[in-house]
Amino acid sequence: MTERLILDCDPGHDDALAMILAAGDPRVELLAVTTCAGNQTIEKVTRNALAVCAIAGIDVPVAAGAAGPMVRPQMVAPDIHGESGLDGPVLPEPTRELDPRHAIDLIIDLVMSNDPGTITLVPTGPLTNIALAMGKEPRIVERVKRVVLMGGAYTRGNRTPAAEFNIIADPEAAQAVFGASWPVTMVGLDLTHQATADADVVARIAEIDSPLSRFVVDVLRFFGSTYLARQGFPAPPVHDLCCVAKLCDAEVFTTREAFVAVELTGTWTTGMTVTDFGDLLGRPHNTDVAIQLDKPRLWDMTVDAIATLSARSAVRS
């Protein structure tokens, strides 16, 4: 059965790859793209989402959402994603208009107008839009099939020693999402740091030799340069791609059940995803936590999606 998803994102180099996989893999149906401030401001990430739609031929509604977190000051990540949020490639001009609805209204409308259990939410940025949608229309929690989110970790952080960027950018929103009764899969740094775009992957994408593949190569080269300079990675980990990959192929990574809560008040640990795989806290498990990636499987489906979208574009032109 085709997995139907709404991608809530903050493009972002790895978000761009997630969009491309969601549009190019036949096992999933991308229903909409919604944006949230995160890697850059809402204006910039929304512009980037429209640019990716243009280069990849993605024809779904795109709606702008939250311009900042629910209660805290805004964070952005120019050190990794550049001043545009998607530095490196030449960004094409958008070819479509934004949906007039706010992102949370688009999410609510799609979830409420489709059968229960048929739509998965895939947030790959801060969880602000998802939490706001829950607050405005609580019934979406019982209707959403599951939430597969990129954020958190059970061993480390990347914005602080304890906290991953997407979670600390809006920890109140994250706690609301983890605390709701819907099924949640946490695709955190422990998993996504396995998803590196190594030189052989970049070479395979380059061999497709299309405008889209050249765009992706430029995306990965810039992303690789900032990860090498800022965090010492020899190849960039393409975090957000992993969430969509799980919907394309459930075997792409393994998970373990755990109780996950978000620390909101710690002096040094705000934004930490406290993860209990056992029963130390006496709480029922509420999250499937991503553990081990099948990396060749991930990149095979991604290269295939880029080739598929490239072929479609060639036919249209």
Residues 6+ apart with CB under 8 A from 185: 146, 147, 148, 149, 243, 246, 255, 287, 288, 289, 290
Q: For the chain, how many residues are written?
A: 317
**CA–centroid distance for 115 within its chain:** 24
Closest Cα partner for 242 from 119, 153, 177? 153
Q: How far apart are CA 161 and CA 123, in angstroms?
A: 23
Give 34's strand partners: 8, 63
Burial of 49 (0-12, 13-18, 19+ CB in 10 A): buried
| Cβ neighbours for 248, distance < 8 A, ≥ 6 positions apart | 3, 21, 25, 27, 28, 301
Active-site annotation holds for 239: yes
Reference 224, options 33, 92, 81; nearest CA is 81
- Contacts for 65 with CB less than 8 Å, ≥ 6 apart: 8, 34, 35, 36, 42, 102, 103, 104, 128, 129, 132
In eight-state DSSP terms, residue 232 is: -
Q: Quote the CA–CA distance of 13 and 170 in Å, as a whole number.
A: 20
Q: DSSP letter string over 45-80?
A: HHHHHHHHHHHHT--S-EEE--SS-SSS-----HHH
- Choose, from 13, 102, 239, 285, the residue flagged as catalytic: 239
- Strands (E) in 201-309, as ranges, are 253-262, 273-276, 287-293
Just list the catalytic residues. 239
